[in-house]
Amino acid sequence: MPAEKIMLLGVNHKTTPVEIREKIALSEGYEKPLMALKSIRGLREYYLLSTCNRVEFLLVTDAAASVEEAIIEFIFGSQVSITDCRKYLYILNGRDAVHHLFLVAASLDSMVVGEAQILGQLKEAYRHASHLGCTGPLLNKLLHKSFSAAKRVRTETAIGSSAVSISYAAVQLARKIFGNLKDKKVLIVGAGEMAELAAEHLVGQGVGEVVVANRTLARAVDLAKRFSGCAVSIDELVSQLEHVDIIISSTGATDIILHKEQVKSVMRSRKNRPLFFIDIAVPRDLDPQLIELENVYLYDIDDLSSVVEVNKTERDKEAIKASRIVDEETLKFQRWYRGMAVTPTIQALRKKIDVIGQNEIEKTFAKVPDMSEKEREIMRKMVGSIGAKILHNPMVYLKSESCAGRDNSDMKVTIVRELFGLTNGDGEQ
């Protein structure tokens, strides 16, 4: 294995409560944090992904321990104590990091498995990083691999259709409750990807108005703009219930954000007009007892999928297939990555030159049959030393110490491999 390490640090909706995630979410886009990371020593390549459910750093480094510390400090700042940080953060190395990245890209790590937005977010994050020159040959390769792995999962399994069908189911249920959706209002609580998708479907079906409530108002405003709706703060949730009809919740809060009693009090002032709740969040956002209230309908993801008769075992089967694909792609990448080291490159280069020399000598010997054994020996030596002379400079180049403290052997290996046409592991190179 090469000396440098692929490392992935991150927090997501499974490990970290939303309050913490919000503190570390990058609200001002990618540019600033990406530029700030440049100052960390020992960081060779990096990229970062920030969505409402996760913040992840993928890096290539040769001084793992010190970089790890620096990144943790960068992520959490001074807002969270260092022991807490360790509790929330997952740090993956080498193969595990690659595997995780592929899982995320294939939407197997999402709140709603199979939703398609994550790949777009990944691509955008990568675009920012590569624009600013933060990624190098290794990450470029790795991220492109993750895109193609995700694509494979999408085309070879039916995992994507379940997310789409879930929002389709939400529309169907809304239809069975409200009949006509024209004058109905949707409230999106928490700016999650799946909520967005479901809202999109509802708007496509003619829902009149969209309201977005979120802890951070900025995100709410962004999302509301997409549906030309309005944004409210999450504290207004209960008072908003008086005016809306459909509520899609996906905040990823650790506790229930809306209790039965709160909704009960609203129903009076609503004159009992029905309320339709969709709880997409894991763990749940909404009190499961809401369903006991008259004219209140509450469904979670599993309920929704039973509407469209996507049965759970079928979905699980697809998920197994998908994770098999991810494993496969991880293995392929590993094979390629191993080949990327300096020593195997030198060996491959030597072997290539040797084989060429051998072949040419055999051809020449065949043309001049009456050559004596001594002459043949001389010829062999000559071909060998031509090869060695040709190889000398590339070898020196590959083995040379890093210049100006930066190790760019990845780049050198890539150049030499391309120059000499050395294929490696996977055929697509």
Binding footprint of another protein on the chain (CB under 8 A): 173, 175-180, 268, 270-274, 291, 294-295, 297, 299, 303, 306-307
Return the closest-CA partner of residue 4 out of 83, 97, 88. 97
d(CA 54, CA 49): 8
Sheet of strand 209-214: strand arrangement: 230-233, 209-214, 185-189, 246-249, 275-279, 296-300
Residue 352 CB-density burial (10 A; 0-12 exposed, 13-18 middle, 19+ buried)? middle
**What Cα–Cα distance (Å) separates residue 268 from each residue in 90, 235, 291, 294, 417?**
46, 20, 16, 11, 73
- Which CB atom, from 89 or from 173, has the smaller least distance to another protein? 173
Tokens of 339: 């080949």
- Which CB atom, from 151 or from 273, has the smaller least distance to another protein? 273
> Could you tell me which residues are beta bridge partners of residue 93?
7
Smallest gap from Cβ 272 to another protein, in A, equals: 4
**What Cα–Cα distance (Å) separates residue 216 from each residue in 23, 118, 328, 335?**
10, 20, 39, 43
> Could you tell me which residues are beta bridge partners of residue 179?
none
d(CA 202, CA 210): 10
Smallest gap from Cβ 301 to another protein, in A, equals: 12
- Which CB atom, from 64 or from 291, has the smaller least distance to another protein? 291
Return the closest-CA partner of residue 286 out of 270, 306, 262, 266. 262
- Which CB atom, from 125 or from 202, has the smaller least distance to another protein? 202
- Which CB atom, from 175 or from 338, has the smaller least distance to another protein? 175
- Which CB atom, from 208 or from 274, has the smaller least distance to another protein? 274
Smallest gap from Cβ 309 to another protein, in A, equals: 8
- Which CB atom, from 180 or from 228, has the smaller least distance to another protein? 180
Smallest gap from Cβ 260 to another protein, in A, equals: 15
Smallest gap from Cβ 159 to another protein, in A, equals: 23
Smallest gap from Cβ 279 to another protein, in A, equals: 12
**Residues involved in catalysis:** 52
Smallest gap from Cβ 94 to another protein, in A, equals: 44
Smallest gap from Cβ 117 to another protein, in A, equals: 27
Length of the chain: 429
Return the closest-CA partner of residue 294 out of 273, 313, 322, 323. 273
**Chain-centroid distance, C-alpha 251:** 20
- Which CB atom, from 268 or from 363, has the smaller least distance to another protein? 268
Neighbouring C-beta atoms of residue 170, cutoff 10 Å? 28
d(CA 122, CA 136): 17
